[in-house]
Chains A and B, each alone.
Chain A
Amino acid sequence: MIRLEKRTAPSRFWTYAAPLLAVVLTMVCGALLFAALGNDPFVTIRTIFWDPLFSEFSWYYRPQLLIKAAPLVLIAIGLSFGFRAGVWNIGAEGQYILGAICGAAVGLAFYPTESVFIFPLMIVAGALGGWAWAMIPGFLRVRFGTNEILVSLMLVYVAQNLLASMALGALRNPDASGFPGSRNLARYPSATSWINEGAGLHWGVVFAFIAVIFAYITLSRHIFGFHVRLSGQSPRAARFAGVNPGLLVLICMGISGALAGLAGLFEVAGPSGLISIDFNAGYGFTAIIVAFLGRLHPVGILLAAGLMALTYIGGEIAQSNLRLPAAAIQLLQGMLLFFLLAVDVLTHYRVRFTSRRVV
């Protein structure tokens, strides 16, 4: 018989080992899945996890990894503040869209003027857009006690419709003879977020690293980070320590909204280039997985985003080279979160194998 016994303190070893074990288990079960689909499991796993980094075409894939990972890091870092404080912002996707719309709108308003001030203005607009969108569920929770999970999630669908209407209406490229979508910001020198397109380097990558450092210092050294952790673990103790719970909700929502908005802005002004109906690619949702995979720890999130980007790029290679269905890749990503949560039991519980015989 297997019994679980609660540990008095979370295991230090398993805190770090659990994500690794989850990755290994995902690889094993993924291999079984691919074998069942008729693919060579070893080749498939190698294609997904190895080829993007070390194959002969890795010069092309490596920049792609940066491009995929940067928005995930930015959004997940923001979410980690809220998740640690017990504020469940599930609507980062919507905040990401609003950041892109607001930032792009500012850039397009100046077209075709060239000025060094345009891009910084777009950054501010993008962050404010995401922040404002996140303030809606934040304010409703603080003022009326609504559930921020539902409200923020619903607002994703509102944002998607807003995005479609922008792509077809206000922000549509007037020179594109009726095709939906805005002008290409990546081809507008004052508004592009690219630093070096060939290397996959854009300002979002820079901001992602800044966000990691900022989050690390805030959470480990600043009293605000302490209050965030305290609020998540013991809300009553936090109030006793002098934390204003409503204000904390708003700040956490604000940070995650602003960072998601930034991610949207950098994406629309660089890799994506334009506001289109299908501009958003689910980064806001994947970032939730990244945040938990990274243990809500800034460095962990950096590594987890890298791993996630790897499965995206590797998955694309597997789709084109091995004819693997796209759903199989999503299944793989789902498995990763599933195993992580399952293995998490080991961090808080000790597994004991006991004989069935009881005295």
Chain B
Amino acid sequence: MTTPLLRLSGLTKAYPGVVANQDVSFDVQAGEIHALLGENGAGKSTLVKTIYGLVKPDAGQMALQGAPFVPAEPRAARAAGVAMVFQHFSLFDAMNVAENIALGMENPPPQREIAARVRQVSDQYGLPLDPSRIVGELSAGERQRVEIVRCLLQDPKLLIMDEPTSVLTPQEVAILFETLRRLRAAGTAILYISHKLEEIRALCDAATVLRLGRVVGTCDPRATSAREMAELMVGSSLHVPHKAARPEGDVILTLQGLSAKAPHRFGTALREIDLTVRRGEILGIGGVAGNGQDELVAALSGEIRTARDMVQFDGQGIGHLAPNARRHLGLLAAPEERMGHAAAPDMSLTENALLTAAVRQHLTARGFVRWGKARAFAGSVIAAFDVRTPGAGNTARSLSGGNLQKFVIGREIMQAPALLVVNQPTWGVDASAAAAIRQALLDLAAKGAAVICISQDLDELMEISDRFAALNGGRLSDPRPAQGLNVEQIGLMLGGAHDMEVAHVDA
């Protein structure tokens, strides 16, 4: 057997109170797309940061092509041939593609040369990219290509990709996969981090599964079912939400030409949104991030005020009402950002319960807070939604992402909304918590409430929604019944890919 490109043996890294990686060992071969699978908090990020020189392991060794590999910093890792594409891009909006790429280089050659190399690399790997375009005008998929090209210019032996498809449309995912396959054919190894199992089955040659910092299994993803991999990840059998047939109810929400200016410079304006939502239905709204999701939630929750009749709730114009007046009527919302928006990180769960439940749960009396009642309400949310925490007195920050999300969603559901608006309800949440949240949304709809679920996870939307609509540039497509929609149609509703076709290689 040949020497593996990268060999990890016995890597251990502990943080105060938590062991992020324990005795992690596996090999990545040259010319292999190797999946690193695991729930949130399984230790994937720590592991790749170790390989990229951002984290020093407490114990264990790494070897690159047989030679000991101890990168002191990312620069050393890059010099050794390891490149990484992060989930969050580090690009300057005001500069063009070639300038952004030059910024990441130690000794950048002249602009013209960079532009030529960018063209060459993007042709070679099927990554359509114009070096002279301003980054601020690019789509998320194109921005990711800039990051990938930036890595490829270093001619890496190992490319690490952290959840690369979370911001892409299905068509853009197809382009990315084509690129990764070409890279594999050229002998580059790719360490591919994801929790989207179908993608991994379609793309990867080998998979290592992490759970609670340990390697719990390796498998050939092409020969393993998604369900088996999920159970390996979670460590127990997975609960699949149950969707019951529901009768169609009365109209609860009507949006009539809802338009709103972008709340800040990098926001999206809402344009002429028309929509009706009925009691007992779940409307799924898909879209690539930054197409008006946050703004739509804000316009519904009351954080953005509009003309009165643009938003009608139960036949009454409420566009001008503040959040608490809307809560009083039964319109509740759970925004995407948990820390600092849906919840205050440094406040206790009791205080966070008070944050949205003061009106409907009568947690104040003549302006004075009834702390006992607030504590009891927080406790009931914790119990009903299986939030893992020592108690309601703990701060929101001390909870893991999934637990806090369960608390935030549970806090709204326990207030018995007539309409619940959720944005990215399972973002960054582990598989079992995600299933629990989806089931809770389905149960809520079964009881006759309407749910608007905004998400970038199309599988999730298909799983729970009755109708599906897409946000694109602040406009909402006409909703269509979710049953029978295929990936192609959804992709087109999302606005398709930018530069959809793979770059043509001139003969």
Report A's interface with B, CB cutoff 8 A.
5, 8-10, 221-224, 226, 229-230, 233-234, 236-237, 239-242, 244, 350, 358-359
Contacts and interface: CB of A to CB of B under 8 A. Distances in A.
Contacts of A359: 56-59
A8 B369 CA distance: 27
B335 interface: yes
The 5 A-B pairs at the shortest CB distance, nearest first, are namely A242-B324, A242-B323, A234-B344, A236-B341, A234-B340
Given A242-B322, A242-B323, A233 B303 contact: no
Contacts of A224: 367
Interface string B339-354: 0111111110001001
Contact of A236 (B302, B340, B346, B356): B340
Nearest to A230: B344
Interface string B380-408: 00000000000000110110000000000
B335 A350 contact: no
Interface in B304-338: 322-324, 327, 333, 335, 337
A241 B340 CA distance: 11
Nearest to B371: A221
Contacts of A350: 16
Q: How large is the interface on B (under 10, 10 to 19, 20 to 34, 35 or more residues)?
A: 35 or more
A297 B59 CA distance: 45
A6 to B, nearest CB: 10
A226 B341 contact: no
Contacts of B395: 8-9
A221 B323 contact: no
B29 interface: no
A247 to B, nearest CB: 11
Given A230-B355, A240-B335, 11 more contacts: A8-B395, A222-B368, A222-B369, A223-B354, A230-B351, A234-B345, A237-B342, A239-B323, A240-B323, A241-B324, A359-B59
B303 A240 contact: yes
Interface in B420-453: none
Contacts of B301: 240
A328 B368 CA distance: 46
Interface in B3-17: 16-17
Nearest to B12: A359
A221 B369 contact: yes
Contacts of A226: 351, 354, 369
B471 interface: no
A8 B398 contact: yes
A10 B340 contact: no
Contacts of A10: 346
Most buried by A among B324, B355, B356, B397: B355
A296 B458 CA distance: 47
B364 interface: yes
10 contacts: A9-B397, A222-B367, A233-B346, A234-B344, A237-B344, A240-B323, A240-B333, A240-B342, A241-B324, A359-B56
B341 A237 contact: yes
B233 interface: no
Nearest to A238: B344
A8 B397 contact: yes
A237 B303 CA distance: 10
A234 to B, nearest CB: 4
Contact of B345 (A222, A223, A233): A233
B358 interface: yes
A10 B344 CA distance: 14
Nearest to B338: A237
Contacts of B327: 242
A237 B343 contact: yes
Contacts of B58: 359
A242 B326 CA distance: 10
Contacts of B333: 240
A236 B347 contact: no
Contacts of A223: 354, 358, 364, 367-369
B425 to A, nearest CB: 16
Nearest to B374: A226
Contacts of B56: 358-359
Contacts of B302: 242
Most buried by B among A221, A242, A244, A350: A242
Contacts of A236: 337, 340-341
A313 to B, nearest CB: 37
A326 to B, nearest CB: 40
Nearest to A217: B368
A244 B16 contact: no
A237 B355 contact: yes
A134 B364 CA distance: 30
A244 B59 contact: no
A258 B342 CA distance: 34
Contacts of B354: 223, 226
A230 B347 contact: yes
A10 B398 CA distance: 11
B341 A234 contact: yes
B390 to A, nearest CB: 11
Interface in B50-86: 56-59
A233 B346 CA distance: 7
B297 to A, nearest CB: 10
Contacts of B345: 233-234
A229 B323 CA distance: 19
Contact of A221 (B343, B355, B368): B368
A204 to B, nearest CB: 28
Contacts of B397: 8-9
A226 B348 CA distance: 12
B16 A5 contact: yes
A33 B296 CA distance: 61
Contacts of A240: 301, 303, 323, 333, 335, 341-342, 355-356
B303 A239 contact: yes
Nearest to B334: A240
Contacts of B16: 5, 350
A236 B340 CA distance: 6
Interface in B351-379: 351, 354-356, 358, 364, 367-369, 371
